[in-house]
Structure 1
Amino acid sequence: MLVTIHQPNFLPWLGFFDKMADADLLVVLDHVGFEKGGYQNRVRVKGPSGEQWLTAPVNTAGRCGAPIHEVELNHRTPWGRNHRLTLRQFYGKTPGYAAQEELLETLYGGRPERLVDFTVPALGHLAGALGVSTPVVLASSLGVGGRRSELLCALVREVGGTAYLSGPSGRDYLDEEVFRRHGIEVHYHSFRPFAYPQPFGPFAPAMSTLDYLFNDPSREAWTSHRAGRQATGGARVTPELSA
């Protein structure tokens, strides 16, 4: 069983779901420290003036490095309503916007207390919109500790995995020997953004998956991309573990 592990990013880009789709199980790494200025509470969208951040404000004062699943959302400003107004302004005339209004209502219709109360369900809703059905498990529910490669390896073993699918940056920090000792293969995911129609100038990759859903309601580009991945067994590379 191929397991991938990732922090619960905020309305993430297509590369997140491409890795999720290549795996048999996604472990959401929600019990590690929150990173200010990262992608855990913000994502980019594209408007008339170019790329812009959508940010969900959080309460982190005096709690630097708090576990992600404990981070609370800050509702002193109506950030959810503001997000929806921005999305309507940027994407209201795109071919897929009307079809995704129900999704937006699902995403923003409540008043979640914690950041993960928004981001984790959102991952499921966006995955479903793309036709990705990979099961999801929260790391915080597994009772597994450790740091860096030891933690990742322990999580894979805890869920019964036999192989780990890392992002490409894992080459810079993974200790493959840790996985080798436990008989777990390491694979590296590779995703090359594909172009699809976008308003407001040249194509900009790495936008929120919402950008894609608004602009390609038929999901033709995604379907074609995934068909190509499946034909080649997924664009992942396995290092020599027997060396």
Structure 2
Amino acid sequence: MRSSFYQKLEKQVRNCEFPIPGSVAIIQPYVFPYLGYFQLLYSVENVVFYDDVNFIKRGWINRNKILVNGKEFMFTIPLQKASQNKLINEIGLVENQLFIQKFRQQLRSAYKKAPYYAEVNDVIESVFVGEYSNIGDLAIVSILAICRYMNMDLNWMKSSEEFCETKGQAKADRLISISKMLACDTYINPVGGKTLYHKDYFAKHGIDLGFIESGRVKYKQFENDFVPYLSIIDILMFNDKTTVIELLNNFDIG
């Protein structure tokens, strides 16, 4: 007999109904993340930005990739004393107008001839005019700005504000606790979590665990050979909102 999760999922896919009822994603905030991140947000009813867990150096919290001269280019938001011994919401930003100016110039040079440069650049500019106490808040605002641009409703909260009493629990146990506190019976994780979390363990605690995996994505980037796995910035520069929504729907959950 198939689990309630798979029965529910099959109904969603047949009827193109997302978000999945009673679902939650709990994920670290990334600055202008990749398409798969937004597919995860799109698929669930509730989003918890996991901002009170340890910062990961050389991860995606404060950096991502854009297209420069037909090749991927990594941009990095400068931080104050970044350390994997600190929580995401404990790491401040370097007040560096030079970086903002340089990043603005990089975007203009890279995308000024892209069809949606003007409107997408306005979205990016709206993020960098704010003041932030830590990198987590800047990353969250970058995500919310993109969601507003794509008319995506997001029921979101921060783990540091709403679920601080769950700190100290084991990784899977904390995710289960937060899911239950939200009265959610389905937890969706990026596909990379298959090595960390197990369906049987979640099921023992009354939670259906699913993993989201992006389908094949390809679109025109000027006249270059396609460069995959870039920031959502790149997708928005080259595609109208209707196409982006189609790309958002291009995923599987298993």
Which of 213, 219, 223 is 2:245 aligned to?
223
Which of 52, 60, 69 is 1:31 aligned to?
52
Is the CA contact (8 Å cut-off) linking 1:81 and 1:108 kept in structure 2?
no
Match of 1:108 in 2: 128
Unpaired runs of 5+ in structure 1? Answer: 238-243
1:30/1:200 CA distance change after superposition, 3 Å? farther
User: Aligned-pair distance for 1:200?
Assistant: 5.8
2:94 & 2:118 partners in 1: Cα distance? Answer: 29
Across the aligned residues of Structure 1 and Structure 2, the Cα RMSD in angstroms comes to 1.8
Is the CA contact (8 Å cut-off) linking 1:97 and 1:214 kept in structure 2?
yes
1:104 & 1:76 partners in 2: Cα distance? Answer: 16
1:154 & 1:97 partners in 2: Cα distance? Answer: 42
1:19 & 1:211 partners in 2: Cα distance? Answer: 18
2:119 aligned with 1:119, yes or no?
no
Match of 1:21 in 2: 42
User: Aligned-pair distance for 1:221?
Assistant: 2.5
1:81/1:110 CA distance change after superposition, 3 Å? farther
2:203 & 2:149 partners in 1: Cα distance? Answer: 36
User: Aligned-pair distance for 1:76?
Assistant: 4.6
Match of 2:95 in 1: 75
1:38/1:52 CA distance change after superposition, 3 Å? same
User: Aligned-pair distance for 1:77?
Assistant: 5.9
User: Aligned-pair distance for 1:137?
Assistant: 1.2
2:245 aligned with 1:236, yes or no?
no
Match of 2:6 in 1: none
User: Aligned-pair distance for 1:17?
Assistant: 0.3
Matched residue pairs, number? Answer: 230
2:179 & 2:122 partners in 1: Cα distance? Answer: 35
User: Aligned-pair distance for 1:49?
Assistant: 5.2
Unpaired runs of 5+ in structure 2? Answer: 1-21
1:15/1:170 CA distance change after superposition, 3 Å? same
- What's the secondary structure of 1:165's corresponding residue? strand
Match of 1:240 in 2: none
% of aligned pairs identical? 21
Match of 2:75 in 1: 54
Is the CA contact (8 Å cut-off) linking 1:50 and 1:200 kept in structure 2?
no
